[in-house]
């Protein structure tokens, strides 16, 4: 079997408490199953990535090894959909003992992928968007499918503390009442790390 490679779009070092806990390097990758109307990464997602092996990514990021281990930080995989590259993380993880692995994800991937991801990552930042299926599909271009079941699985596998939720106000698609309904349903699952914010739409 060929060595798994990651479609790297870029690295951003020394992100404090933005992309997970501690000092974190954001590792942006290509590819996403959704087409969100206000995606801020659309241009980046269209760029040709450079493909790196696990050893190559480790070499590029190990300069911050001490910071990662001293602060409980590590690598946060985002950009597009992080859970598209599970073979890669399984190769990378043994090279980086003591680093936190965080996944930024929409969870609109197969239940099998989420089960593997629960073993590969310590923390998840879930861009849930909305729990209203019609609003979700109108905004992302895709039905929510297994998102809710995947979230429930993660809560059971890792506990609510390991999961940070983003619940946006999406101008033209939802409203505060929709945010309230989404937040209430998430709290019923025991989730408390819920960030509400508004997308800024530039004309």
**Does residue 67 contact residue 88 with C-beta atoms inside 8 Å?**
no
Binders in 53-92 for ligand SF4, by CB under 6 A:
80-81
CB of 130 to ligand SF4, least distance (A): 12
CB of 60 to ligand SF4, least distance (A): 22
Closer residue to ligand SF4 (CB): 42 or 62: 42
Closer residue to ligand SF4 (CB): 64 or 81: 81
Size of the site for ligand SF4 (CB under 6 A): 10
Residue 144 is a binding residue for ligand SF4 (CB under 6 A)? no
Binders in 6-35 for ligand SF4, by CB under 6 A:
32, 34-35
Q: Pick the binder of ligand SF4 from 106, 120, 163, 170 (CB under 6 A).
A: 106
**Does residue 181 contact residue 132 with C-beta atoms inside 8 Å?**
yes
CA 166 to chain centre: 10
Closer residue to ligand SF4 (CB): 57 or 84: 84
CB of 34 to ligand SF4, least distance (A): 4
Q: What is the DSSP string of 67-119?
A: HHHHHT-EEEEEES-GGG-HHHHHHHGGGSTT-EEEEEE---S-HHHHHHHHH
88 burial class (0-12, 13-18, 19+ CB within 10 angstroms)?
buried
Q: Pick the binder of ligand SF4 from 12, 41, 53, 71 (CB under 6 A).
A: 41
**Does residue 77 contact residue 27 with C-beta atoms inside 8 Å?**
yes
> In the complex, which residues of this chain contact ligand SF4 (CB under 6 A)?
32, 34-36, 39, 41, 80-81, 106, 127
């Amino acid at each position: 079997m060929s060595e798994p490679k990651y479609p790297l779009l870029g690295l951003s070092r020394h992100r404090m408490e933005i992309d997970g806990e501690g000092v974190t390097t954001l590792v942006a990758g290509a590819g996403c199953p959704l087409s969100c109307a206000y995606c801020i990464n659309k241009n980046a997602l269209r760029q040709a990535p450079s493909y790196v092996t696990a050893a190559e990514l480790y070499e590029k990021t190990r300069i911050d090894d001490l910071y990662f281990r001293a602060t409980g930080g590590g690598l946060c995989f985002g950009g597009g959909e992080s859970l598209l590259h599970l073979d890669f993380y399984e190769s990378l993880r043994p090279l980086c003992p003591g680093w936190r692995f965080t996944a930024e994800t929409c969870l609109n991937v197969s239940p099998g992928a989420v089960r593997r991801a629960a073993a590969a990552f310590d923390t998840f930042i879930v861009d849930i968007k909305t729990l209203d299926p019609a609003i979700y599909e109108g905004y992302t271009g895709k039905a929510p499918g297994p998102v809710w079941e995947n979230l429930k699985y993660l809560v059971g596998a890792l506990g609510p503390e390991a999961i940070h939720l983003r619940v946006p106000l999406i101008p033209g698609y939802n409203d505060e009442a929709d945010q309230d309904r989404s937040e209430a349903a998430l709290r019923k699952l025991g989730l408390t790390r819920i960030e509400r914010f508004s997308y800024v739409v530039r004309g």
